[in-house]
Structure 1
Amino acid sequence: MLDRITASLPSLAPAEQRVARLVLTDPHAFARQPIRELAERAQVSKPTVVRFCRSMGYGGLADFKLKLAGSVSEGVPFVHRSVDADDKTGDVLVKVVDNAVAALLHYRNAASTAAVERAVEAIAATWKTGKRIEFYGVGNSGIVAQDAQHKFFRLGITSIASSDGHIQVMSATLLGPGDCAVIISNSGRTRDLMDAAEIARKNGATTIVITASGSPLASSCQIHLAADHPEAYDRYSPMVSRLLHLLIIDVLATCVALRIGSSLPPILQRMKENLRAKRYT
Structure 2
Amino acid sequence: MLDRIKASLPSLAPAEQRVAQLVLSDPRRFAQLPVSELAARAEVSKPTVIRFCRSMGYDGLSDFKLKLVGTVSEGVPFIHRSVDVDDKTGDVLVKVIDNTVAAFLKYRNDASTHAVEKAADALLAAYRKGKRIEFFGVGNSGVVAQDAQHKFFRLGVHTVAHSDGHMQVMSASLLGPGDCVVVISNSGRTRDLMDATDIARKHGATTIVITASGSPLAAAGHIHLAADHPEGYDRYSPMVSRLLHLLIIDVLATTLALRIGGAKLQPLLSEMKNNLRSKRYT
TM superposition score normalised by structure 1: 0.72
2:214 counterpart residue number: 214
Counterpart of 2:111 in structure 1 is 111
Q: What CA distance in whole angstroms lies between the structure 2 residues aligned with 1:197 and 1:150?
A: 21
Q: Structure 1: how far apart are the matches of 2:243 and 2:185?
A: 13
SS of alignment partner, residue 188 of structure 2: coil
Deviations 1:172-207 (A, max 9, x none): 000000100100000000000000000000000000
- What SS class does the counterpart of residue 186 from structure 2 fall into? coil
In structure 1, the partner of 2:128 is 128
Are 1:274 and 2:270 matched, yes or no? no
Q: Deviation of residue 121 (structure 1)?
A: 0.3
Match status 1:228 vs 2:228? yes
Name 1:185's counterpart in structure 2.
Answer: 185
Answer whether contact 1:180 1:207 (CA < 8 A) is retained: yes
- Residues in 1 aligned to 2:216 and 2:94: alpha-carbon distance in whole angstroms: 34
Task: Give 5+ residue unaligned stretches, structure 1.
Answer: 4-27, 29-73
2:97 aligned partner? 97
Equivalent-residue separation in structure 2 for 1:132 and 1:75 (angstroms): 44
Residue 120 of structure 2 aligns with an amino acid whose one-letter code is V
Distance 1:189 1:81, change over 3 A: closer
1:243 is aligned to: 243
Q: Structure 2: which amino acid aligns with 1:162? A: H
1:150 paired residue number: 150
The answer as to whether partners of 2:83 and 2:95 remain within 8 angstroms in 1 is yes
Distance (Å, rounded) in 2 between the aligned partners of 1:105 and 1:279: 36
Structure 1: which amino acid aligns with 2:170? M
Q: Which amino acid in the other structure matches residue 266 of structure 1?
A: P
Using the TM superposition, give the Cα deviation of residue 81 of structure 1 relative to its aligned residue in structure 2, in angstroms: 5.3
| C-alpha RMSD of matched pairs (Å) | 2.2
- Distance in 2 between residues matched to 1:132 and 1:152, nearest whole Å: 11
Cα 1:94–1:279 shift into 2, 3 Å? same
Larger radius of gyration: 2
1:33-68 Cα shifts (integer Å, max 9, x gaps): xxxxxxxxxxxxxxxxxxxxxxxxxxxxxxxxxxxx
Aligned length: 211
User: Which has the larger displacement, 230-239 or 217-226?
Assistant: 230-239
Question: What is the percent sequence identity of the aligned residues?
Answer: 76
Amino acid at match of 1:279: R
Q: 1:203 and 2:200 equivalent?
A: no
2:159 alignment partner in structure 1: 159
Structure 2: which amino acid aligns with 1:122?
A: A
Question: How many Å separate the matches in 2 of 1:94 and 1:117?
Answer: 34
Return the offset for 1:75: 6.5
Partners of 2:236 and 2:93 lie apart in 1 by 18
Q: Could you tell me how far 1:84 is from its partner in structure 2? A: 1.1
SS in 2 for 1:177: coil
Moved over 3 A (4+): 74-81
CA distance in 1, matches of 2:234, 2:200: 28
Whether the 8 Å contact between 1:81 and 1:95 is mirrored in structure 2 is: no
